[in-house]
């Protein structure tokens, strides 16, 4: 009986196979939702910006049920004074890749959930993360400008100043004999000046800025 060569198998699509991204040598990270508390602010280059935290979606962790339902975690966050920041608060114009939403997923030893302003690159067997701090801060300003996050309360800024002043007082006590303490005092003084400048930039003309505390002099 003659051999029938009319039946043909599929050829391997090796080009497509080679184009698949190799997973990164890094463990997976759970999905998350950004959240903000009115007491959490940071001074960045003379500007007050909200300091966001992440509500993890990892099943069975921090009030997320074993099926990944975050309803209870969201309720608990709200009771604690946190405001959840939805994905849709980040438009395409705010991200480096021109896509909306602030979460991106890369493949490692499991899905790696990171922000839109983080991207990995390989360095041998290591993974190095590039971070677009300028772009991220632009989005924080956008959240404030669009009303998703209210300006900081004066008491929060006053507390930040009190913490800096307490650190300064501790270092100033040893600054006469310790050059490292003297340097620390100078750095804290610079931080206090930046904080005052940051508060002055806040668009809250109806509320006076907290009164700066008098600095303890350091002998030269």
Say yes or no: 37 and 58 in one domain: yes
Measured CA to CA in angstroms, residue 77 lies from 23, 53, 157, 191 at distances of 34, 11, 23, 31
Say yes or no: 134 and 186 in one domain: no
Say yes or no: 39 and 138 in one domain: yes
* Residues β-bridged to residue 129: 120
Last-in-domain residue among 79, 112, 145: 145
Q: What is the pLDDT of residue 4?
A: 53
Say yes or no: 140 and 156 in one domain: no
Under DSSP, the state recorded for 10 is P
Does the residue 83 lie in any domain?
A: yes
Edge-to-edge strand list for the sheet holding 83-85 = 53-56, 32-36, 83-85
Q: What is the pLDDT of residue 22?
A: 85
Distance (Å, whole) CA 30 – CA 110: 9
Overall number of domains in the chain: 2
Say yes or no: 123 and 65 in one domain: yes
CB burial of 122-149 (b: ≥16 within 10 Å; e: otherwise) equals eeeeeeeeeebeeebeebbebbbeeeeb
Distance (Å, whole) CA 142 – CA 138: 6
Residues found in the chain: 220
Task: Quote the strand ranges of the chain, DSSP E.
Answer: 27-29, 32-36, 41-43, 48-50, 53-56, 83-85, 103-115, 118-123, 126-131
Say yes or no: 163 and 208 in one domain: yes
Q: Of 56, 62, 70, which Cα lies nearest the Cα of 28?
A: 56
Say yes or no: 87 and 171 in one domain: no
Say yes or no: 40 and 108 in one domain: yes
Does the residue 15 lie in any domain?
A: no
Q: What is the pLDDT of residue 182?
A: 87
Measured CA to CA in angstroms, residue 107 lies from 87, 99, 119, 204 at distances of 21, 18, 12, 44
Say yes or no: 189 and 125 in one domain: no
Does the residue 16 lie in any domain?
A: no
Task: Quote the strand ranges of 80-218, DSSP E.
Answer: 83-85, 103-115, 118-123, 126-131
Q: Of 159, 147, 170, 146, which Cα lies nearest the Cα of 195?
A: 159
Last-in-domain residue among 145, 180, 203: 145
Distance (Å, whole) CA 113 – CA 20: 19
Per the structure, the complete domain to which residue 100 belongs is given by 23-145
Does the residue 10 lie in any domain?
A: no
Q: What is the pLDDT of residue 181?
A: 83
Q: Is 172 exposed, middle or buried (0-12, 13-18, 19+ CB in 10 A)?
A: buried
How does pLDDT run along the chain (220 residues), one tens digit per residue? Answer: 555 545 455 544 545 444 467 899 999 999 999 999 999 999 998 899 999 999 999 999 999 999 999 999 999 999 999 999 999 999 999 999 999 999 999 999 999 999 999 999 999 889 999 999 999 999 999 999 999 999 999 999 999 999 899 988 888 888 878 888 888 888 888 888 888 888 888 855 434 444 444 444 444 4
Distance (Å, whole) CA 38 – CA 51: 9
Say yes or no: 175 and 114 in one domain: no
Say yes or no: 70 and 85 in one domain: yes
Last-in-domain residue among 127, 145, 163: 145
Say yes or no: 130 and 160 in one domain: no
């Amino acid at each position: 009986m003659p051999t029938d060569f009319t039946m043909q198998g599929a050829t391997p699509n090796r080009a497509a196979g080679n184009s698949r991204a190799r997973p990164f040598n890094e463990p997976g990270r759970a999905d998350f939702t950004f959240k903000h508390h009115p007491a959490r602010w940071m001074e960045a280059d003379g500007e007050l910006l909200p300091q966001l935290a992440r509500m993890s979606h990892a099943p069975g962790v921090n009030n997320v049920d074993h099926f990944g339902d975050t309803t209870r975690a969201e309720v608990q966050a709200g009771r604690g004074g946190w405001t959840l920041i939805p994905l849709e608060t980040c438009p395409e114009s705010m991200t480096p890749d021109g896509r909306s939403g602030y979460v991106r997923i890369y493949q490692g030893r499991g899905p790696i959930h990171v922000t839109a302003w983080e991207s990995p690159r390989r360095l041998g067997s290591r993974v190095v993360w590039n971070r677009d701090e300028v772009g991220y801060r632009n989005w924080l300003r956008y959240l404030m400008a669009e009303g998703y996050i209210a300006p900081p309360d004066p008491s929060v800024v006053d507390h930040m100043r009190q913490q800096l002043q307490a650190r300064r007082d501790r270092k100033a006590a040893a600054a006469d004999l310790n050059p490292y303490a003297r340097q620390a005092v100078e750095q804290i003084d610079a931080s206090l000046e930046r904080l005052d400048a940051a508060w002055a930039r806040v668009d809250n003309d109806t509320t006076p800025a907290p009164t700066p505390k008098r600095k303890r002099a350091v002998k030269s």
